[in-house]
């Protein structure tokens, strides 16, 4: 059976470079893993190498053409889930006996943000995740505080994972060839996150407010998000944070202190997370 052609509207760029495949597999810490979940297997370049590890592999794929192709190629050696990963609960595709799994995938450029959100939301299930992303997204994912690329994506990730950019992947490694460079990023659960929050949704609403307009300073962003001038000033004074700073200039302790100071008023925010 010939492999199905890519569909532009799905953002499909199929990995074809075996060297990249093996580098991804080498990054995976499979010693104690029971299951590998692959997001978006496509034509199965990475899938084949994952199956060859001897571990149980579950591949989540929304394209029915790819499901048919992968079924013929791998048969019972691969468990296929025909759906978008965004519609799937991690617990439903992992063994009932529990145990954390590893995740791998070449994420479609047009859905990388939502899929990363899915990985964060299901963090308790993963002992490691190795994903390929557009380089621009990878930079924002691994960004440290007080750097240009620091923002909501890095903050959301850091609540559960330590993110490390492992290597670049040139456009020629894919078919069709994309216009951008990609990067492989490894996510590993924290032993101790840089910041702890009780209400993740409320905290991320606050973070999105701080970064809503990157050229505006903290004070103006809080005001634009529904804050009142009086309590904005009081919160920043309590936190010891200069309201003239921009969001990407904050460090973890600044972010934590300002959130605690703003907490009593955060329900006033109109900017969603």
Interval 215-235: pLDDT, tens: 899 999 988 887 778 888 888
Interval 168-216: pLDDT, tens: 999 999 999 999 999 999 999 998 899 888 889 889 999 999 999 988 9
Interval 243-252: pLDDT, tens: 999 999 999 9
Report the Cα 176 to chain-centroid distance in Å: 24
Interval 126-142: pLDDT, tens: 999 999 999 999 999 99
Residue 251 corresponds to which tokens in the numbers above? 């460090």
Give the Cα separation of 203 and 197 in Å (integer).
7
Q: What is the per-residue pLDDT for 268?
A: 55
Share of the chain above pLDDT 70, in %: 96
Report the Cα 166 to chain-centroid distance in Å: 15
- The domain limits of the chain are 8-189, 200-268
Mean pLDDT of the chain: 91
Maximum Cα–Cα distance for the chain, whole Å?
A: 68
Architecture in CATH for domain 200-268? Orthogonal Bundle (1.10)
CATH topology of domain 8-189: Rossmann fold (3.40.50)
Give the Cα separation of 19 and 184 in Å (integer).
13
Give the Cα separation of 35 and 55 in Å (integer).
6
Angle between helices 200-210 and 252-262 (to 10 degrees): 110
**What is the arithmetic mean of pLDDT over 68-78?**
96
């Amino acid at each position: 059976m010939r492999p199905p052609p890519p569909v532009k509207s799905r953002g499909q760029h199929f990995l074809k470079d075996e060297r990249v495949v093996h580098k991804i597999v080498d990054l995976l810490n499979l010693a104690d893993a029971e299951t590998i979940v692959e997001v978006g297997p496509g034509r199965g370049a990475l899938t084949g190498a994952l199956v060859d590890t001897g571990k149980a592999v579950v591949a989540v794929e929304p394209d029915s053409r790819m499901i048919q192709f992968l079924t013929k190629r791998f048969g019972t050696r691969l468990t296929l889930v025909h759906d978008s990963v965004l519609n799937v609960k991690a617990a439903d595709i992992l063994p009932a006996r529990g145990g954390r799994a590893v995740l791998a995938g070449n994420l479609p450029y047009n859905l990388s943000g939502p899929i990363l959100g899915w990985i964060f939301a299901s963090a308790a299930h993963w002992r490691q995740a190795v994903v390929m992303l557009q380089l621009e997204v990878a930079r924002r994912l691994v960004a440290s505080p007080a750097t240009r690329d620091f923002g909501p994506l890095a903050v959301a990730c850091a609540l559960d994972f330590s993110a490390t950019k492992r290597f670049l992947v040139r456009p020629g490694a894919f078919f069709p060839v994309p216009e951008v460079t990609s990067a492989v990023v490894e996510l590993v659960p924290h032993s101790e996150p840089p910041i702890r929050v009780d209400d993740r949704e409320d905290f991320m609403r606050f973070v999105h407010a701080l970064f809503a307009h990157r050229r505006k300073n903290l004070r103006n962003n809080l005001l634009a998000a529904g804050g009142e001038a009086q309590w904005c000033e009081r919160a920043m004074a309590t936190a010891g944070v200069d309201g003239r700073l921009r969001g990407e200039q904050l460090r973890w302790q600044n972010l934590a202190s300002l959130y605690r100071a703003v907490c009593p008023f955060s329900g006033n925010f109109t900017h969603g997370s």
